[in-house]
């Protein structure tokens, strides 16, 4: 009999979760079975405070349920600073019982902010003005009476920090504590430091930098958005073998001094003078008599929350591909990839050598170093050598977006020495990779790599718009158009969960949502829009679209419930804006940002702003209505159903002629009208046909911007024009997704023509070469081209939808793989000489509904066997789309082979599929 095994247990999406303040954690697990069509029938969870489970504190017993994700803990109240172990056992419908899984653990931090004993401290003269201060070093010594069994540090900073214990850097996290709406929510981190300690004398050291808290943010060179004073907060809890504990805290007994980092800024880089190093500063025995005092800072504790997001880490090391000597005489390193992170040097340098590294994304058409698009961001790292031994250095509290690095100060080194002396360290929130896509066209594969690299470079604790210029802000519009693609490429539940809590915290009392989260723009007169609130349709809708997408992709009903009031507040804000409460026809809007049909010298496309605003209004009301259904809010279901109907009616009266023609003749107007279900019947058919004509008559080129582009191919495929969508994707001349690929791009560009065919640039004002919004096409590539999707009647891929839309011979294969909450899903097809083959993998405890376009029932086989005889294959029927069938869990290699019925190569769907 086939075995039934458990693997990949998670608590709050993570294995070995160290330091959480979640009082009701949720568990999930994946099941492995070689037997097809396996479903979980029951589970049992045990939780204990000892690894041997000798004293379980919670035991569910056998629980009849197919739930294997988001299962809530229902045991006794948890204790702070305690490690808990859990294990799972399951039964399937065949009567098989698994063994207990291997034990996993999670560990709580402070479950109540009032438990903090430490004081916020700051160097006595640390007050930031308009100029960044040198990075501070803080230290203290302490004694331990005997060997320890466990030790934890809980720490955070108003600024950025890193910790040293007895001379060793603690942890692999960078840019801690991350960026949040600090006045409302301020993360702290937990570190297991048992191995760093010794009996007797020990020393703690902290480096403290400006970071997002006091450093400059935005394009107007303002700093101190959250405060003018840096501070740090730390507690070390030590447990001895006899069970006793000792605590070391930050207080006024700590000493401080300036270190070798003379300057550090998020945008501008760092200046490090190795001659000012103080060897042994974080070790016992160091002489700190000339160090200054610290003082207690008056900062609150109530906003402190344990780490929620994936921490920022170095996730990959790149080596330079070549040294370039430019026509203007500069020496450059080419990393071969537009990356985000830092450069590490490892070289013998003589004392006083002043090395300058500048970072840029592209070269100009003459092949020279180009930094115009950085605006005021310097992206400059300087290192002054002390001359003893090998210089091993990378910036501590800054990150850069770059492919090319200009080197000054090392003229005596040859190209080989330069290539060997530098590496690139890729940094981002260390999300787990979950998705893969590839097809028979290598240009599309490069596009997919560009999308992934764009996500990596911009997911640095918040979803930024770009990682290089003087911006790097959490723009809401960019985040909402990309979130579904993001959830394919990586596990982003903690990432967006944390960011959405900041969105709710920064949402204004009137329900409006700022342009950027965390919000640093409201108090800046230079960013005011003639007295208008800094909010916009499609941007503020992130408050609704993002939590709903999280719910769909991860089954996270708790987050949906947490965000529901925020979602509702946004919808009610919109309702109060228009002259008619069912139209949004007032206020500032970004519109179809950067659309190609914009008027000259305008960033805003030609689609009427009120059409875009009302379309998104309808979409957000629909999602809010659906969220109310999920959360059991029956009165609000009725209320928002009625509101949606009235909005749709108002939209049709305003924007659709009596003959059924859409009043705005733009691609984006047609896309949004169809995507959000604002027309029906013949009007919908006409709108889809006219959209197709707009694309075809433009020689298969798009004109859409940030608002229309994400949905363009989805709408075309859903309304019978999939061939047009494929031709759009495969278009390689401007404007198109592949145009940037043809120009050598390794990330997604902000502008379709960021580099023009003649090699000149779009305006320096706003021309990022790592801007993921147009990478939202990845969603269509996964779900439509490869055919890996979910049936949204059940979330988190419990019910899988496998429906590859073939490419009419333009592609011969496409495949996608997704590590879903239930396990790996795969959809892979090939098409050669009219014969199609589909291979799928379906995880245990899920079911797939599969559509085989162009197939006939009697001609389907798997590995030569009639499909009716194949284990795991359920009901089959023919439809207008092809053959529909169900399949249980299992791997179906050479699953289905069939010859294409010519009449069904293109199928117009009978109804439009709604997506979140």
* Residue written as token pair 């027309």: 679
Structure tokens at 720: 């019978």
SS3 339: strand
Which candidate, 381, 429, 436, 430, places its Cα nearest to that of 409? Answer: 381
SS3 487: helix
Structure tokens at 92: 């399937």
Residue 750 designated active-site:
yes
- Measure Cα distances from 48 to 21, 75, 92, 105, 752 in Å: 18, 10, 25, 9, 55
Question: Which of 146-162 are b and which e, b meaning 16 or more Cβ less than 10 Å from the residue's Cβ?
Answer: eebebbbbbbbbbbbbb
Residue 833 designated active-site:
no
DSSP designation for 784: I
Which candidate, 237, 298, 300, 245, places its Cα nearest to that of 109? Answer: 237
Q: Name, in order, each residue with C-beta under 8 angstroms of 866's C-beta and a sequence gap of 6 or more.
A: 860
DSSP designation for 125: T
Q: Which residues are registered as beta bridge partners of 163? A: 206
Gyration radius from the chain CA atoms? 29
- Residue 67 has phi, psi (to 5 degrees) of -65, 125
Structure tokens at 12: 């709050």
Q: Which residues are registered as beta bridge partners of 483? A: none
Neighbours of 220 (CB within 10 A): 13
Contact 551, 544 (CB under 8 A): no
Q: Which of 750, 819, 862, 881 is catalytic?
A: 750
Q: Are strands 304-306 and 186-192 parallel, antiparallel or unpaired?
A: parallel
Q: Name, in order, each residue with C-beta under 8 angstroms of 340's C-beta and a sequence gap of 6 or more.
A: 399, 400, 401, 402, 426, 427, 428, 456, 457, 458, 460, 467, 468, 770
Helices 557-575 and 542-554, interaxial angle, to 10°?
160
Q: Residue 473 class from Cβ within 10 Å (0-12 exposed, 13-18 middle, 19+ buried)? A: buried
Structure tokens at 491: 């596990």
Strands (E), 771-871: 788-790, 799-802, 813-820, 823-832, 835-842, 847-852, 861-862, 865-866
- Integer Cα distance of 491 and 474 in angstroms: 19
Residues taking part in catalysis:
471, 750
């Amino acid at each position: 009999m086939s075995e039934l095994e458990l693997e990949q247990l998670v608590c709050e999406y993570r294995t070995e979760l160290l330091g959480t303040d979640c009082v009701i954690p949720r568990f999930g697990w994946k099941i492995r079975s070689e037997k097809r069509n396996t479903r979980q029938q029951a589970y049992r969870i045990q939780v204990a405070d000892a690894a041997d489970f000798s004293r379980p504190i919670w035991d569910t017993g056998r629980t009849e349920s197919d739930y294997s994700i988001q299962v809530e803990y229902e045991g006794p109240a948890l204790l702070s600073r305690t490690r808990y172990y859990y294990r799972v056992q399951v039964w399937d419908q065949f009567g098989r019982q698994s063994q207990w899984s291997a034990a996993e653990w999670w560990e709580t931090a402070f479950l109540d902010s009032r438990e903090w004993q430490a004081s916020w401290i700051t160097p006595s003269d640390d007050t930031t003005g308009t100029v960044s201060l040198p990075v501070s070093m803080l230290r203290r010594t302490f004694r331990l009476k005997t060997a320890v069994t466990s030790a934890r540090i809980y720490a955070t900073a108003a600024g950025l920090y890193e910790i040293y214990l007895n001379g060793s850097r603690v942890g692999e996290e960078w840019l801690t504590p991350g960026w949040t709406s600090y006045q409302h929510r301020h993360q702290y981190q937990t570190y297991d430091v048992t191995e760093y300690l010794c009996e007797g004398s020990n020393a703690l050291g902290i480096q403290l930098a400006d970071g997002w808290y006091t450093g400059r943010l935005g394009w107007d060179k303002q700093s101190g958005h959250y405060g003018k004073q840096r501070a740090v907060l730390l507690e070390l809890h030590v447990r001895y073998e006899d069970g006793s504990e000792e605590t070391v805290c930050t207080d006024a007994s700590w000493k401080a001094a300036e270190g070798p980092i003379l300057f550090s800024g998020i945008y501008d880089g760092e200046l490090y003078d190795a001659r000012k190093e103080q060897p042994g500063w974080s070790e016992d025995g160091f002489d700190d008599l000339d160090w200054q005092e610290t003082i207690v800072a008056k900062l609150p504790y109530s906003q402190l929350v344990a780490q929620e997001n994936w921490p920022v880490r170095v996730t990959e090391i790149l080596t330079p591909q070549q040294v370039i000597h430019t026509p203007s005489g500069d020496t450059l390193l080419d990393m071969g990839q537009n990356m985000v992170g830092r450069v590490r040097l490892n070289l013998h340098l003589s004392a006083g050598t002043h090395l300058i590294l500048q970072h840029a994304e592209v070269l100009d058409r003459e092949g020279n170093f180009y930094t115009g698009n950085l605006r005021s961001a310097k992206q400059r790292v300087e290192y002054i050598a002390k001359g003893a031994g090998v210089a091993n250095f990378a910036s501590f509290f800054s990150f850069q977006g770059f492919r090319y690095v200009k080197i000054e100060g090392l003229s005596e080194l040859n190209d080989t020495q330069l290539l060997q002396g530098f590496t690139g360290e890729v940094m981002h929130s260390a999300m787990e990779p979950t998705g893969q896509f590839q097809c028979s066209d290598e240009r599309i594969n490069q596009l997919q790599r560009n999308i992934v690299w764009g996500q990596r470079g911009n997911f640095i604790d918040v979803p930024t718009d770009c990682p290089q210029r003087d911006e790097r802000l959490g723009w809401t519009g960019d985040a909402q158009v990309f979130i579904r693609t993001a959830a394919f490429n990586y596990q982003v539940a903690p990432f967006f969960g944390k960011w959405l809590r900041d969105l709710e915290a920064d949402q204004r009392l009137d329900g409006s949502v700022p342009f950027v989260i965390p919000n640093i723009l409201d108090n800046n007169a230079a960013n005011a829009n003639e007295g208008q609130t800094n909010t916009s349709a499609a941007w503020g809708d992130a408050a609704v679209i993002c939590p709903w997408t999280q719910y769909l992709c991860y089954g996270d009903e708790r987050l949906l419930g947490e965000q529901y009031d925020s979602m509702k507040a946004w919808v009610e804000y919109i309702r109060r804006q228009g002259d008619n409460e069912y139209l949004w026809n007032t206020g500032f809007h970004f519109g179809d940002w950067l659309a190609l049909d914009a008027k000259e010298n305008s960033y805003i496309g030609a689609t009427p702003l009120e059409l875009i605003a009302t379309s998104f209004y309808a979409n957000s009301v629909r999602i809010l209505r659906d969220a109310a259904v999920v959360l059991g809010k029956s009165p609000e279901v009725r209320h928002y159903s009625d509101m949606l109907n009235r909005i749709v009616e108002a939209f049709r009266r305003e924007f659709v002629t009596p003959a059924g023609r859409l009043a705005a003749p733009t691609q984006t107007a047609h896309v949004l009208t169809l995507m959000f279900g604002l027309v029906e019947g013949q009007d919908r058919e006409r709108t889809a046909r006219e959209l197709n004509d707009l694309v075809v008559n433009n020689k298969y080129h798009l004109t859409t911007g940030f608002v229309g582009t994400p949905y363009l191919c989805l709408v075309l495929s859903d309304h019978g024009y999939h061939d047009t969508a494929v031709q759009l994707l495969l278009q390689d001349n401007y404007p198109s997704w592949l145009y940037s690929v043809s120009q050598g791009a390794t990330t997604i560009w902000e502008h379709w023509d960021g580099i023009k065919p003649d090699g000149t640039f779009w305006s320096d004002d706003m021309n990022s070469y790592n801007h993921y919004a147009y990478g939202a096409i990845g969603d269509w590539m996964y779900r439509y081209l490869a055919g890996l999707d979910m049936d949204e009647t059940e979330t988190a891929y419990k019910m899988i939808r496998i429906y590859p839309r073939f490419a009419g011979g333009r592609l011969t294969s496409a495949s996608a793989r997704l590590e879903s909450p239930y396990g790996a899903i795969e959809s892979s097809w090939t098409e050669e000489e009219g014969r199609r083959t589909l291979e799928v993998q379906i995880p245990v405890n899920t079911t797939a509904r599969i559509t085989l376009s162009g197939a006939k029932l009697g001609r389907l086989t798997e590995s030569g066997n009639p499909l009716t005889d194949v284990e795991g294959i359920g009901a089959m029927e023919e439809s207008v789309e092809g053959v529909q069938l169900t399949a249980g869990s299992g791997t179906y290699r050479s699953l289905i082979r069939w010859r294409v019925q010519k009449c069904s190569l293109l199928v117009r769907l009978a109804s439009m599929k709604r997506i979140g």
